[in-house]
Amino acid sequence: MAYSKLGLTKTLTYRGISLVIVLFGVLFLTVIVLGATGVSDRILDSMLMEELRGIRQQLVTQIKDVEQLNKAVEEIKKQLIIAYGLDKPWYERLPSMMLKIITLDLGSAKNIQSFSGSKQISVIIMERLPNTILLVTTAIIINFLIGLFAGTWVATKPGSIIDRLVSLYAAISYAIPTWWLGLINILVFAFFLRLFPYTGMFSAPPPTDPFLRILDLLWHVSLPLLTLIIALSGSWIYITRSLTVTTAQEDFVNVARAKGLPENLVQRRYIVRVVAPSILTNVILGLAGSIGGAILTETVFGWPGMGQLYYEAIVSLDEGLILALTYMFTLVYVIARFVLEVLYVVVDPRVRY
Amino acid sequence: MESYVLEVEKLNLAYRTLRGDLLAVNDVSFSLKPGETLGIVGESGCGKSSTAYALMKMVPSNTSIFTGKIIVDGENIMEMDDADLRKKVRWKKISMVFQGAMNSLNPVIKVGFQVAEPLIVHDNVPKNEALERAKELFKLVGLPQDFINRYPHELSGGMKQRVVIAMSLVLNPKILILDEPTSALDVMIQAQIMNMLKDLRKSLNLSIIFITHDIALASDLCDKIAVMYGGQIMELGAAEQVLPDPKHPYASKLIGSIPTLRSEKKLDFIPGAPPDLVNPPTGCRFNPRCPYRFELCEKETPPIYILDGGRQVRCFLYKGKG
Amino acid sequence: MSIFSEARREFWRSYTSKAGTFFIILLSLISLVVVLTMPLDFGTKYWSNPIYWVDYPKTSPPAWINTFMSEKLVEHQVLYSYTPVQVEDLGGSYMKIYSFTYDFKYNQFPSFLTFRIRGLTFYENPPVIRVHIIRPDNKIISLLTYPVSTEGVSQTAPYVLYKTEPKRFLLSGDPSLFRVLSDFLYKEFHISYSPEKVYSVGVEKIIFGVPKDDNSFEPLNGKYQVNILLYCENENDSLGEVAMVFGGRVYGLMGTDTLGRDLFQGLLFGFPVALLIGLATSILSTILGAVLGIVSGYIGGKTDILIQRIADIVNNIPLLPLLIFFTFIFGGKLWVIVLILVIFGWPSLTIIVRSMVLSLKSSNFVEAAVAVGANSIRIMARHIFPQVAPFILAQLIFYTPQAILSESALSFLGLGDPSIPTWGQILDYAFRNGAVYLGYWWWILPPGLLIILSAITFVLLALGLEPVVNPRLRRRR
C-alpha cells in the first residue's frame, strides 16, 4: 500500500514542477520580449500619463495658479517616474514586474471596462473567466461523452460503412476551421432561419426572472456549443474508436472471455477501463487547442469571456491587457492541465514511479 | 474402463480466408484421463494452438467449419449454447494459459483481483474471501502473498507467468491447457515453472494438455505425446514409447532433429516447408517431404492405424498392422 | 529502387491518395498561374488600395446568381469609347462626339453612376466636356458639364492630362446633377423635388426611371444613348478613353466586399500564399524536429535529457495566446508567423522520432555499423534516417494543414500580414464589417471552403501515405 502512495506523490510532484516551469517560462519570455522591444516602456509611460492626468484634474480644484499647478505636477511626475521604475532600464524592472503579475496585480486597461465599470484588469478578467470556463468545459465534456459512447459503439463494427463514414467525418472536421463554422452557423441559423440569436451571452436587456434567465442563457449558448460539437466531436469519436479497436484485440481481452466473464463486463473492465488513460491523454493534448478555440469561438459569437477580451485588447491595441491575458491564459491552462494529469495518474497505474 | 475427463472425436476447424478455407484442425481425436498429461508437439502452424482454442470453443468470427465432438466430463460442449458454456464449463471445468502470457493480464487492474475475479463473478464469492483464495494460489505457485496488490507492470516475466497459472487454477478446473507457457522465458525460470507444474499435477490431480514445439520439455512432463502436422495428428502414444521409437516418418524426423549434447550423431533435418493449409497436398499431408513415400501416399489420406499398446499412427506404412 | 516502387504502388491503392494527389496538383497549378499572371505586389499595390476599386460595385454577390433569380439583378457594366463617332467643325472650334449605348433591362436601378476620362490631350486652350444621356422615351438629361482645369498640366504643348490616373466624376454624388435632375423632374413630369430630395432618392432612379403617383419610380427599360461631347479648339485635341460605369448589384465570379474589391482576385492570390505558408512552416519544423529527435535519441545522455526537457516544456505551452502575443509585438509579418509556428511546432515530432530512434539504436545493422567503426554522424545519416524518413514525410504532410489553419486563424483575428490578402484576412474583414449579420454569404463561404480544401488536400495525402509508412495498416491483397 505504502509503495503505490509514494509513487503517486512522486509522479504528481514531477508533473507539477514541470508545469510550473512552463508558467514561469512563459511569463519570463513575455516579460523579456516586452522589455527588449521597448513595449513595456510604452505601457508604463501611458499608465504614468494616465495617472498624472488624474492627479492634475484633482489639483486643478486646489491650485488656481497655472504656474504653480504645472510645477506641482512636474514634481509629482518625477516621483511617479521613480515609482514606476521608468528611470531604470527594463531589465532591472524585470523581477518586480514578474512579481506583480504573479500576484495578479495586473494594472488597468486602456479603454475596456468591466461590467461594473472598473478599469482594473484583474477585475475585468475575473468577470469574464467564468463565462469562458462555462463554454469550454461544457463543450469538452459533451465532446468527450459523445466520443466515448459513439466511439466505443463504432468500434464494435470495424470496417463497416458507419465506420468509414466516421473516419470521413473525422478527416473533414479536422480540416474545417471551427471559427469559420461558427460564422456559417450564425449565417444559417441566425440570419436565414432566425432560430438563434446572433451574438452575446444574454439578450439585451437580460431577463430578471432566474428561470427565464437560464433559458435565455441556454438559447444563447446553443449556437456556440453546437459549433464546437460539430467541429470537434468527429476527431473524438475517431480517436476513441481507434483506441478501442486496438485494445479490443489485445490478448487479455481474450483471456477475460475465456475466464467466462460476461460480455458487458469485458467491455467495461477490459476495454473501456484500459482505454481510458489514452483518451484522457487526448483530452490533455486537446487542452491547448481548446484555449485557442475559446479565443476564436468567443470572438465569433460575441461571448463575453476571456477569449473575446483578448480580441478586444488586440483591436484597441492595449498592450498591458494583452500581457495580462497571455499570462492568465497560460495560468488557466497550467491549472487545467495539472488537474487532468492528477486524474490521469489516478486512472493509469502504469505511470506511477 | 476408467472414465475420461476429456474425449475429442473427429474435431475439424477451418477459417475463411481470402484464398479459401484454411483447414487448421483436421480429423483430430484423442482422449484424456484424470491426472494425465498430454503433450501436443509440432512445428509452427501445425494446428496445435487452434486445437487448444477449439477445446475452449473460442473460435474467431471467420470460422467456416467447426465440427466434431468435445466431451468434457461427460458433456458434449459442442452442443452447448454460449450462456451454459460460460457458466458451467469455461474456466470451471477447463481453463487455459495462453501463449504470450505477458499480455494476458489487464494492465490497469491488480493481479490479485484478476486471479480472484472468476470467483467473484461466477460463484458470487465476496471479494475478500476471493482474495484470500488468490493468496493461497499465489503460495501454491511460489509467489509472495502480498503480490496480490501489485500491477502487472511491477512483475517480471516469470512472475507474470506464475500469476497466469494461478489464475487458471482458481476455479479448480479438471483440465488445464498450456499453450507454449515457457517459450518467452529464460531456461532457469523455465525449469522452475516446469517443476511447479509437476507438483501441481500431483497435488491437484490435474489433467494437463501441454502444447509446445520443444520436444525436450514435452518429454519431461507428459505421459502421452501427440505429434501434429498440417492440422492432423500423425502419431499419438505414451511418451516413453513414442520418444525413443517414433513410428511415423515425420515424428521420427522431428524427434531425431533434437540436438543432444556430445553426440556424434549427425543432425537430421527435414527438407521442404510446412504444407499450405488452404490447398494441402493430395493424399498424406506429409508426402512431399517424406523419404518413405510411395504411390498410395499421394492418392489417399491415410487413416489412423492403431498398433499394439494403443499407439496411433497415421501412415500407410502401417497398413494392415493395426 | 524496389522499395520506392512498392511504396508508390501501395500509395496509389486507396481513393484518398488519388483524391489527395488530384487536389495537390490542382492547388499547385492554380498557384503557379497566379504567380505567373498576377503582380507580386498585388497586395500592397492593389488590394490595400481602395482607390483601385472605386468603380466596382460594393458588397455585391457574384454575377452568376442571376441564373437562379427570377428577377435578375442589375449587372455591372462599364462602357467605353476610344474614338469619336463624329467630328463637327464649328468654324474656329471643333466638337468631337464620343458615344455608346446602354441597354437597360432590369427591374431595379443601377447602384451608382460614374463617368471617367483618361488621356486628354490638347494643344491650345483647355477643352470643355459635356455628357448627356438620351432616354428611350427620348427625354434628354445633361449629366455633366466640365471645363477642363489646367492644374498639373505640363508647361508646353501638347498638354496631357489624366494619363496615369483617370479623372472620375461620381455622378451619383454630384450636387450640380441633383439640381439638373430637380429641374428635369419639374419640367418633364411636373414633380417638385428639391436637390436634397434628389440626393436622398438617388439619381439612378430619376435618370433610369419614370415617376409614379405614389412617389416611387418605375424602371424605364430600353436603350439609352450616352453622348460625350468634347468642345476643343484644335482638331488634334482628343480623349484617349471615355467610360461610363453603370454600377451593378452583382459582380464577377465571387462578388465584391464593402470596398468593392473583386473577391475572385483576392481569393486567387490566397492560393500560393496558403501553400507557401503551409509548406514552409511544416518543412522547417519537420527538419528541426527530426534532426533534434534523431540526435536526442541516438546520442543519448545529457544531450538527450536536455532536448527532452525543452521539448516537454515547449509542447506544454498553449499556442494561440503566445502566437497572438508575438504577432502583436512584432507585427503580423509572414516570416514572424512562420517562425513562431516552427518554434512551437518542432517538439511533437522530436518526441516521436526519438522513441523510434531509441528502438532502432539497438537493432542489428546499427550495431554492425558501430562495430565496423562508423562515426555517429554517418550512422545517423545513413542508417537511422532512412528508417524514420517515411514517417517524417508523413508528419510533414500532416502538419501542413495545421499551419494553414493556424495562419488563417491569426489573420481572422486581425493579426495577419495586412499587405497580403489571405483567406483568413478576407474573413476578418468580412466579420468586422458585419457580413455575418447582413447575410453576405458570398464573402464568407468561399474563403472558408478554400481553407478547408487546402487543409483536406494534405490530410488526404497524409492518410494515403499512412499504409506506406505503417506496414501493419496495409490492406490484405
User: Cβ separation of B103 and A251 shorter than 8 Å?
Assistant: yes
- Say how many CB pairs under 8 Å bridge A and C: 134
The answer to whether residues A34 and A327 touch, using CB atoms and an 8 Å cutoff, is: no
Residue with cell 478527416: A171
What average pLDDT score do residues A340-347 get?
Answer: 80
Let me know if residue B98 belongs to a domain.
no
A340 Cα to chain C: minimum distance (Å):
13
3-class DSSP assignment, residue C246: strand
- Interface contact flag, C321 A37, Cβ < 8 Å: no
Q: Which residue has the cell 456549443?
A: A225
What pLDDT was estimated at residue B176?
92
Please give the average per-residue pLDDT across A222-243, as a whole number: 89
Amino acid of residue A145:
L
Same domain, B14 and B86: yes
B164, pLDDT greater than 80: yes
Q: Which amino acid is at B292?
A: Y
Residue B87 near residue A260, CB atoms below 8 Å: yes
Chain A contact for B153, CB < 8 A?
yes
In this prediction, residue C470 carries a pLDDT of 65
Phi, psi of C209 (to 5 degrees): -140, 175
Contacts of B167 in chain A (CB under 8 A): 259
Q: Name every chain C residue with its beta carbon within 8 A of the beta carbon of A319.
A: 328
- The tens digit of pLDDT for each residue in B259-300 reads 665 556 555 667 777 788 888 888 888 888 888 888 888 888
> What confidence score (pLDDT) does residue C71 get?
83
Grid coordinates standing for C345? 511546432
Residues B235 and B310 placed together within one structural domain of the fold: yes
State whether residue A208 is helix, strand or coil.
Answer: coil
Confidence of residue B320 (pLDDT cuts 50, 70, 90): confident
Dist CA B182 CA B185 (whole Å)? 5
Task: Give the pLDDT confidence of A250-281 residue by residue, as tens digits.
Answer: 889 989 988 888 888 888 889 888 888 888 88
Q: Which of A100-109, A309-318, B214-223, C97-106 has the highest mean pLDDT?
A: C97-106
Question: Looking at the domain assignment, is residue B136 inside a domain?
Answer: yes
Enumerate the CATH 2.60.120 domain ranges in chain C, comma separated.
77-246
pLDDT-above-90 percentage for chain C? 26
Q: State how far the Cα of A93 lies from the Cα of A109, in Å rounded to an integer.
A: 20
Grid cell at residue A25: 517560462
pLDDT recorded at residue B262:
57
Range 394-413 of C in CB contact (< 8 A) with A: 401, 405, 408-409, 412-413
How many angstroms separate the CA atoms of C133 and C101, rounded?
A: 9
pLDDT reading at B98 higher than 80: yes
Between B28 and A41, where is the model more confident? B28
pLDDT digits (tens, 9 = 90+) for A9-28: 777 787 788 788 888 887 78
Q: Where are the beta strands (DSSP E) in C301-354?
A: none
pLDDT digits (tens, 9 = 90+) for A135-169: 998 999 899 888 888 888 888 877 788 888 888 88
User: Which residue in the block uniquely carries the three cell numbers 442589375?
Assistant: C74
Q: Does B109 touch chain A (CB under 8 A)?
A: yes
Q: Which part of chain C is CATH 1.10.3720.10?
A: 3-47+262-473
- Neighbors of chain C with 3 or more C-beta pairs under 8 Å: A
Domain C77-246 has CATH 1.20.272: no
For the cut 60, the answer to whether the pLDDT of residue C176 exceeds it is yes
Q: What was the ipTM of the complex prediction?
A: 0.82
Q: At what angle do helices A273-301 and C385-412 cross, to 10 degrees?
A: 30
Query: Which of A111-115, C272-276, C341-345 has the least mean pLDDT?
Result: A111-115
Q: Give the pLDDT mean for C282-306.
A: 86
Are B236 and B311 contained in the same domain? yes
Distance CA C85, CA C97 (A): 6
**Full residue range of the structural domain in which residue B177 is found:** 6-93+173-318
User: Is the pLDDT assigned to residue C291 strictly greater than 60?
Assistant: yes
**Pair B34, B78 in one domain:** yes
Selected residue with higher pLDDT from B98 and C15: B98
Pair B164, B182 in one domain: no
Interchain contact, B108 vs A350, CB within 8 Å: yes
Residue C446 confidence class, pLDDT cut points 50, 70, 90:
very high
Q: Residue B1: inside a domain, yes or no?
A: no
**Per-residue model confidence as pLDDT tens digits over A310-324:** 888 877 777 777 778
The pLDDT confidence band at residue B258, using thresholds 50, 70 and 90, is: low
Indicate the pLDDT class of residue C263, thresholds 50, 70 and 90.
very high
Looking at residue B115, its pLDDT comes to 92
pLDDT in tens, C130-140: 999 999 999 99
B264 in the same domain as B183: yes
pLDDT band, very low/low/confident/very high, at C126 (cuts 50, 70, 90):
confident
pLDDT at B221 over 50: yes
pLDDT band for B116, please (50, 70, 90 cuts).
very high
Q: How many Cβ pairs within 8 Å bridge chains A and B? A: 69
Cβ–Cβ gap C317/A323 under 8 Å: no
Chain mean pLDDT for chain C: 85
- For residue A254, list chain B residues with Cβ-Cβ distance below 8 A: 58, 98
Give per-residue pLDDT as tens, C27-44: 999 999 988 888 888 888
Q: Which amino acid is at B304?
A: I
Whether B139 maps to a domain, the answer reads yes
d(CA B90, CA B55): 10
pLDDT at C471: 58
The whole-number pLDDT of residue B264 equals 60
Residue identified by cell 507428459 is B222
Do B229 and B295 belong together in one domain?
yes
C86-95 pLDDT, tens digit each: 888 888 888 8
Give kind and range of the element (H or E) at residue C326.
Answer: helix C319-330
Question: Is the pLDDT higher at A217 or at A62?
Answer: A217
The percent helix, strand, coil of chain B (3-state, each to 5) is: 40, 25, 40
Burial class (CB in 10 A: 0-12, 13-18, 19+), C109: buried
Residues 6+ apart with CB under 8 A from B14: B21, B22, B23, B24, B25, B63, B64, B65, B66
Q: Chains contacting A with at least 3 CB pairs below 8 Å?
A: B, C
Please say if the pLDDT value at position C449 is more than 90.
Answer: yes
Same domain, yes or no: B205 and B286: yes
What is the CA angle A189-A191-A193, rounded to 5?
50
Q: Give the domain-ending residue among B172, B187, B210.
A: B172
| Same domain membership, residue B197 and residue B123 | no
Is A261's CB within 8 Å of B121's CB? Answer: yes
Confidence of residue C416 (pLDDT cuts 50, 70, 90): confident
pLDDT tens string A173-211: 888 999 999 999 999 998 988 888 888 888 878 788 888
What b/e string do you get for B138-163 counting C-beta neighbours within 10 Å, with b at 16 or more?
Answer: bebbbbeeebbebbbebbeebbbbbb
Smallest Cα–Cα separation from C29: which of C194, C193, C272? C272
Q: Radius of gyration (Cα) for chain C, nearest Å? A: 32
The contacts of residue C90 (CB under 8 Å, 6+ apart) are none
Higher pLDDT, A116 or C308: C308
A258 and A321 in contact (C-beta within 8 Å)? no
The answer as to whether B64 is a domain residue is yes
Confidence tier at A1 by pLDDT (50, 70, 90): very low
- CA nearest C345: which of C258, C406, C262, C411? C406
What is the share, in percent, of chain B residues with pLDDT greater than 70? Answer: 95
Which residues have CB under 8 Å from C203's CB, separation 6+? Answer: C113, C171, C172, C174, C177, C178, C181
Residue at which a domain ends, from B172, B203, B218: B172
| Per-residue pLDDT reduced to its tens digit, C357-388 | 877 777 777 777 777 777 777 777 777 777 77
By mean pLDDT, which of A331-345, B132-146, C219-233, C267-281 is the weakest? A331-345
Is pLDDT above 50 for A3?
A: no
A176–C414 C-beta distance less than 8 A: no
Distance in Å, alpha carbon of A191 to nearest chain C alpha carbon: 6
Q: What is the mean pLDDT of the segment spanning A232-250?
A: 86
Contacts of A256 in chain B (CB under 8 A): 106
Please measure the distance between the N-terminal and C-terminal CA atoms of chain B and give it in whole angstroms.
21
Q: How many structural domains compose chain B?
A: 2
B231 C-beta neighbours (distance < 10 Å), count: 26
DSSP class per residue in C66-117: GGT-SSPPPBPEEEEE-S-SEEEE-SSSEEEEEEEEEEE--SS--S-EEEEE
Check whether residue B300 and residue B164 sit in a common domain.
Answer: no
Say whether pLDDT at B1 is over 60: no
Chain B hits for A350, CB-CB cut-off 8 Å, are 107-108, 151, 153
Q: Top-level CATH class of C3-47+262-473? A: mainly alpha
For range B204-215, the mean pLDDT: 88
Q: Closest Cα of chain A to B256: distance in Å? A: 34
Q: Does B177 lie in the same domain as B164?
A: no
Among C193-197, C299-303, C440-444, the range with the most confident prediction by mean pLDDT is C440-444
Of B91, B104, B108, the CB nearest to A348: B108
For residue B54, tell me if it sits in a domain: yes
Q: Is residue C476 scored above 50 in pLDDT?
A: no
Q: Evaluate whether residue B281 is within a structural domain.
A: yes
My answer on whether B302 and B213 are in the same domain is yes
* pTM of the model as a whole: 0.78
User: End of a domain among B144, B172, B200?
Assistant: B172
Provide the pLDDT for residue A229: 92
The sheet carrying C86-89 orders its strands as C86-89, C94-104, C222-232, C128-134, C140-147
B108 contacts A260? CB cut-off 8 A: no
Q: What angle do CA C28, C31, C36 make, to 5 degrees?
A: 125
C-alpha distances (whole Å) from B312 to each of A326, B30, B212, B246 are: 81, 10, 20, 11
